[in-house]
Amino acid sequence: MAKVPSAAISRLVTYLRILEDLEARGVNRTSSEQLSEEAQVTAFQVRKDLSYFGSYGTRGVGYTVPVLRRELQQILGLNRRWGLCIVGMGRLGQALADYPGFDEHFDLRGFFDIDPTKHGLSFRGIAVEALENLPRVVAERRIEIGLIAVPADSAQSVANRMIDSGLRGILNFAPVVLEVPKEVAVENVDFLAGLSRLSFFILNPRLREEMIG
């Protein structure tokens, strides 16, 4: 297992979702052809992406949906739940705390804010704590991933405290590029960047066509 393109991993997430959907609909067998249609990539791509990690199908037949689903969950680390905490309980942090979408694969185990007026609040039955408590709470509640929902200018200092506290992954909603040691995984999920690209593509339909197909 070597030299996996980073983009392939994003596509694995898509394949997993399609498989979960197929399984929910009672479909037992699929093919690279069917997966490629749903994911809007080529069948070559699907097979190549899977081949980076192993051989999960049967030649001449295809893939068994629950088998491949389990394998992808295993690869992506979604066969277990991950402990998650949110730092920054402003509007965005509060909205995310109440968002039920995390629940399938993640477990919200802590909320933090520097602002003492926020410390009275509680979400999902868990009280918002002072940022000073981060290292202790991360250790006690076995939290692995931290979500940053603070303004851009304090995002880096929050990231530093997360790393010092032993968190191994950061989900960054602030519109800045974080500097972290390479053993810490960071994913930037600020959706306003997406909106910016969108307006560009609306302005430049011809250029977009050239790039996409």
Q: Which of 62, 66, 83, 175 binds DNA (CB under 7 A)?
A: 62
CB of 208 to DNA, least distance (A): 11
Check if the beta carbon of residue 46 is closer than 8 Å to that of residue 15.
yes
Check if the beta carbon of residue 12 is closer than 8 Å to that of residue 72.
yes
Answer yes or no: is 12 a known binding residue.
Answer: no
Under rule CB under 7 A, residue 110 binds DNA = no
Under rule CB under 7 A, residue 57 binds DNA = yes
A 10 A CB-CB count for 152 gives: 11
CA 147, CA 158: separation in Å to the nearest integer? Answer: 10
CB of 59 to a second copy, least distance (A): 27
Which long-range CB contacts under 8 A does 32-37 form with residues at least 24 apart?
A: 32/57, 32/62, 32/63, 35/63
Residue 139 or 185: the one with the smaller Cβ distance to a second copy is 185
Under rule CB under 7 A, residue 41 binds DNA = yes
CA 50, CA 8: separation in Å to the nearest integer? Answer: 9
Residue 32 or 94: the one with the smaller Cβ distance to DNA is 32
Q: Which residues sit at the interface with DNA, rule CB under 7 A?
A: 3, 5-8, 31-33, 41-45, 47-48, 50-51, 55-63, 211
Binding-site members for NAD(+) are 88-93
